[in-house]
Amino acid sequence: MHKTVDDPEAQLRSGYVDVCLLNEAANMPFNAYKITLRGTQDRAGFLVLTTNKPTRSRGAWVVRLADGAEKDVREGREPALKLLRLDPKKNAAIVQNAKSVIDRALRYAIEENEGLDEGVILEADAKLCAPPFEAEKHVKTLPVFGLLDVTAEVTKRLHGRSFAYVVGADFQQQNAATAFRVMARDARPESLKDFVLVAVRSWFLRGGGDEDDLIDCMVADKFTPDNTFVVGDWSGDWQKGNHGYGPVSFEAFKSRGYEIVGATKKKTQAALHGKNPDVEQSVGKLRTFIADNRFFVAAGEATAGLQKALLKCDARVDTYGNLRPKGIHAHLIDTCRYPLWFIATRIEAVAMTVPSYVTARR
């Protein structure tokens, strides 16, 4: 019998179920899973789910199911469900050559340096970062096992001076900042390109306050000009955060001794100001790093605001079809986008080893 899930309570509730299949489970509400699973208990039936990775918050429960089963296996318990991960390239129903042509057709509409998975990947009613962000997986107690703090090495290579922290800062109306450490397997140049970003402290002046108030918070927490490099919203190079009178945002940091830059390079040497990275692409970059387990948040109250923002920030698509963070949590998301973009778009150039034939003596 085939049924829809428009109204799970009315359409799916049933007993004495031997076998049930939920196709494209990530497109269904959690209630559909709960009701059909309960229906199998009368006769010891079973439930099969087929799904792709969810791109909307409605399907986040599917990810939690898989993570729960894998956690049981890691901790030596028998999982309550059987998890099978299948390679889509082995799907005989998909003509791989046709898929390749479709990918090429999609690329006609995007810039050469854009990735298909970093473009318009969300729908207007989705959460911006969750999924793929999950507290159980991406909130970590420091130190992160197996990773070395290479922040000093990375900032030296990218900016010419070593710092202990990289801080992303946003100045639009309500000031916010997040401090990061850059981690890698080791400090060898070839390892730096696979860097991991770990947020260790966040600040959000939700109730008001200007750039100096934000800096006061940073200094109080010992993120000082001596150990902190700031990557800020480029608009702070030409306006104050509240768009009022007074020193522009960057100048407020510079006057207190901080070194601050924008996330992107200026287009030309003659350009007065830089331009922030494309919102859609930089959000996509952040989502990709989260999904690839290259972006983490340190556990604890110091990052509670950022944890909430990553879980709760809404997404919207504007009238031009561009992806935008929505709501109060967008400020802290921006503090992640800027330093990630700054590092990710520069690290390949400096994390290259010199071939042996170049250095070998003749």
Question: How far from 315 is each of 251, 318, 323, CA to CA, in Å?
Answer: 31, 10, 7
- Across 123-132, 154-163, 254-263, least confident range: 123-132
Highest mean pLDDT among 3-12, 291-300, 347-356: 291-300
First to last CA, the chain: 77
On whether both 139 and 60 belong to a single domain, the answer is no
Question: Which pLDDT value is given to residue 108?
Answer: 61
pLDDT score of 170 more than 50: yes
Q: Average pLDDT, stretch 135-149?
A: 90
Question: Which pLDDT value is given to residue 223?
Answer: 98
On whether both 241 and 316 belong to a single domain, the answer is yes
Task: Return the closest-CA partner of residue 272 out of 248, 242, 241.
Answer: 248
- The answer to whether residue 93 is domain-embedded is no
Q: Is 160 left (phi over 0), alpha (psi -120 to 50) or beta?
A: left
Rounded distance between C-alpha atoms, residue 139 and residue 148, angstroms: 17
Q: Are 306 and 202 in contact (CB under 8 A)?
A: yes
Task: Return the closest-CA partner of residue 297 out of 85, 134, 107, 63.
Answer: 134
pLDDT score of 240 more than 80: no
Question: Which pLDDT value is given to residue 110?
Answer: 53
Average pLDDT, the chain: 83
The tally of CA atoms less than 13 A away on the side-chain side of residue 302 is: 19
On whether both 179 and 323 belong to a single domain, the answer is yes
Top-confidence residue, 355 or 14? 14
- The answer to whether residue 106 is domain-embedded is no
Question: Which pLDDT value is given to residue 123?
Answer: 40
pLDDT score of 354 more than 50: no
Q: How many domains does the chain have?
A: 2
- Across 135-149, 194-208, 284-298, 307-321, least confident range: 307-321
Top-confidence residue, 262 or 60? 262
Q: Average pLDDT, stretch 163-187?
A: 94
* Tokens found for residue 193: 């390109």
pLDDT band of 4, cuts 50, 70, 90: low
On whether both 246 and 315 belong to a single domain, the answer is yes
- The answer to whether residue 159 is domain-embedded is yes
Return the bridge partners of 21, or none: 48
pTM of the model: 0.66
pLDDT score of 161 more than 70: yes
On whether both 184 and 308 belong to a single domain, the answer is yes
On whether both 302 and 232 belong to a single domain, the answer is yes
Question: Nearest-5° angle of CA 155, CA 158, CA 162?
Answer: 25
φ, ψ for residue 183, nearest 5 deg: -120, 155
* Tokens found for residue 147: 């990773």
- The answer to whether residue 191 is domain-embedded is yes
- The answer to whether residue 301 is domain-embedded is yes
- The answer to whether residue 112 is domain-embedded is no
* Tokens found for residue 140: 């970590």
Highest mean pLDDT among 57-71, 119-133, 144-158: 144-158
The tally of CA atoms less than 13 A away on the side-chain side of residue 220 is: 9
Q: The domain containing residue 143 runs over which residues?
A: 135-350
- Chain center to CA of 1: 41
Question: Which pLDDT value is given to residue 361?
Answer: 44
Task: Give the CATH number of the domain where residue 316 resides.
Answer: 3.30.420.280
On whether both 240 and 318 belong to a single domain, the answer is yes
Rounded distance between C-alpha atoms, residue 31 and residue 13, angstroms: 10
As to burial, measured by CB atoms within 10 angstroms (0-12 exposed, 13-18 middle, 19+ buried), residue 120 is middle
- The answer to whether residue 320 is domain-embedded is yes
Task: Return the closest-CA partner of residue 256 out of 204, 215, 203, 214.
Answer: 215
Q: For the chain, how are helix, strand and coil distributed in percent, rounded to 5?
A: 40, 15, 45
Q: Are 117 and 284 in contact (CB under 8 A)?
A: yes
Rounded distance between C-alpha atoms, residue 51 and residue 242, angstroms: 45
Q: Are 134 and 63 in contact (CB under 8 A)?
A: yes
Top-confidence residue, 150 or 272? 150
pLDDT band of 293, cuts 50, 70, 90: very high
pLDDT score of 344 more than 50: yes
- The answer to whether residue 87 is domain-embedded is no
